[in-house]
Amino acid sequence: MELSVIISYYKALDKLRLILRALARQSNKNFEVILSEDDYNEETFEFLSKNRMLFNFPITHIYQKEDKGFRKNEMLNKSIIHSKTNKMVFIDGDCLPHKHFVNNYLKNIQEGYIYEGRAVLLGKNISEWIIQKQSLKKLNFFSLLFSDSKMIKDGIYSPLFSLSIKKDGRGLVGRNWGIGKKSLMDVNGFDMDYIFAGVGEDVDIEWRLKENGIKTKSMKNKSIVYHLYHPKSYSEEMVRYNFELLHKKQKEHNIRCLRGIEIIG
């Protein structure tokens, strides 16, 4: 196998089933899955013990020994350590990958670049249908066009080039991106000082990588995910705290974060 798909996951087994089903239908099977669970949940263990062998890819389960609250970056660092390949792709536990998602990342990822994917933002109604039916059949352009979804243009599959000439200005979004492992190790992985959702798993890692000379390439319209609707799980106060922490770190210019992969081992 040549690619590690790392899934950030927290208490959403109905969505995890769909993600694994979407990964099982990938056009390129040369990958492993690392389930990066920011929790300790017996339900996940039971599901994997019964179903792991049904999938055509290896699954490694990384989890908290006890629920210490939001420790997503710590679990991502542990997942990187346990990965068996040199190409990393990160998705969130509410994102369903297109069938050529893996293949396009595999063909493109090289050291020295961040590969930024994009997502169709599924509406509430179609998300509820997909979860209830446990079906992927509505993940196509025409079904989405007549749904309550947003960013539908990002779901048009175009492997040779992006449909958008202009950069969308959104930068790295944590729900869908790829990179070479060495590039991550060079900045000591994810900064574990971030203990609230948002910023730490995308904005922070992006600025440190870029400051270390890493360039960006777009995977828009190539490696697509479909983001299942859910209410926001974090407050404006949490986001404000994270950005204040980010600005402090940028001022100190610690490109290699002080609390990253190295302190895990």
- When pLDDT is cut at 50, 70 and 90, the band that residue 195 belongs to is confident
Q: Are 191 and 259 in contact (CB under 8 A)?
A: yes
Q: How far apart are the first and last CA of the chain?
A: 24
- The residue range of the domain holding 113 is 3-264
What DSSP string runs through 225-240? EEEPP----S-HHHHH
- Residue range 241-258: average pLDDT? 93
- Residue range 171-183: average pLDDT? 92
- Residue range 176-196: average pLDDT? 95
The residue assigned the tokens 């297109």 is: 98
Q: How many domains does the chain have?
A: 1
> Which residues is 36 bridged to in the sheet?
8, 62
> Which residues is 97 bridged to in the sheet?
225
**Distances from the Cα of 32 to the Cαs of 1, 65, 83, 231, in angstroms?**
7, 23, 8, 30
Say which residue, 199 or 127, is predicted with more confidence: 127
What's the pLDDT score for residue 67? 74
| DSSP code of residue 197 | S
CATH number at residue 92: 3.90.550.10
Q: How many residues in the chain? A: 265
Distance separating alpha carbons of residues 120 and 144, to the nearest angstrom: 9
- Cα angle: 217, vertex 210, 163; to 5 degrees: 20
pLDDT tens for 47-99 read 999 999 999 999 999 999 877 778 999 999 999 999 999 999 999 999 999 99
- Residue range 108-122: average pLDDT? 96
What's the pLDDT score for residue 202? 85
What's the pLDDT score for residue 167? 58
